[in-house]
Amino acid sequence: MQFYPRVRARNETARVRSYGTSKDTKLLGFAGYKVGMTHVIVTDNLPNSLTKGQDLFMPVTIVECPPLKAVSIKFYKILPGEKRAVGEVYADNLDKEFSKAAIKPSKTKKVEDMKNFDDVAIMVQTQPKLTGIGKKLPELFEIALGGAKDDKLTYAIEKLGKDITVKDVFREGQQIDIHAVTKGHGTQGPMKRFGIARRRHKSEKSIRNPGSLGGWKAQGKTMWRVAHAGQMGYHTRTEYNKWLVKIGEKPEDVKMSGGVMHYGVVKNSYLLIKGSIGGATKRLVRLNNAIRANHKIPKNAPQIQYLSVDSKQGA
């Protein structure tokens, strides 16, 4: 069953439970909009691979990453079993979209007033108006910082009210974790939802339902592990150790004839991530440094020999 309960996500902006740690003073995460998939031809750089040095086909997902804007600094006090917010300082130049998407700060505090705190984080907003997806209101969420306490505060003050690019956070070849709300499919039956087998044609009562709901004795109830109809998709999910193949700063390099299906034209920096990722087209996906990186994956990105920009219309 793997996941329980399989309920709809509370918010389309996925939450991140852990950012890991970093000695470098920078954001530990970023966010972008899922564009779609294409493929590349890369030179295999796995050290122990049988095809090392040969050209390989690799499916990749394109994620458009317009700059994030730092709108506030959040201060935390670490207590036994709790991390409590003790203050927040907002930028002076808040966008008009921010006041529509969130509660406008009633009192503006100054950094100098914040004395008793143990940790610092940055509240950021996306800038979908820079893309062509037709979205107006930005998403708001918090991102942790790496480094020492004083370095975090200095970095946060420097970035407050300014844009932060994906190049400031990630590097090519590293592993990242993907947090996204998967594509929703509504209410589905147990065959489609869990992949159970269809029963024989002379079965009683039903054919597309499970054969048994549990024992006749003992437990005396139907267990949650039994496949039933219910919500399928639109769940918050995390994918670990996705390989960041390329950070592109020239959107014309991924310009397809007629635009990307269901998305349009990429107008900002973009990422190429090996394999597929969760979420629907145009949906925000959150990215952060891998918290349990796979040592078998090389730390350097493979050399890309060819990037397919052929139209996927009718494919």
- Percentages helix, strand, coil for the chain (3-state, rounded to 5) are 10, 35, 55
- The residue assigned the tokens 């002076």 is 92
| 138-189 pLDDT tens trace | 999 999 999 998 899 999 999 999 999 999 999 999 999 999 999 999 999 9
67-164: in CATH 3.30.1430.10: yes
1-65+166-201+226-315 and 67-164 agree in CATH topology:
no
How many percent of the chain have pLDDT more than 70? 96
Residue 249, pLDDT above cutoff 70 = yes
Choose the CATH number for 1-65+166-201+226-315 among 3.30.365.10, 2.40.30.10, 3.40.50.720, 1.10.10.10. 2.40.30.10
Beta bridge partner(s), residue 248? 270
**DSSP state at residue 260:** B
Q: How far apart are the first and last CA of the chain?
A: 33
pTM score of the predicted model? 0.91
| 97-145 pLDDT tens trace | 776 656 555 555 677 777 888 899 999 999 999 999 999 899 999 999 9
Q: Is the dihedral of CA 15, 28, 271, 49 positive or negative?
A: negative
How many Cα atoms sit within 13 Å of 190 on the Cβ side? 18
Domain positions in the chain: 1-65+166-201+226-315, 67-164
- Could you write out the DSSP letters of every residue in 215-235? -SSTT-S--TTS---EE-S--
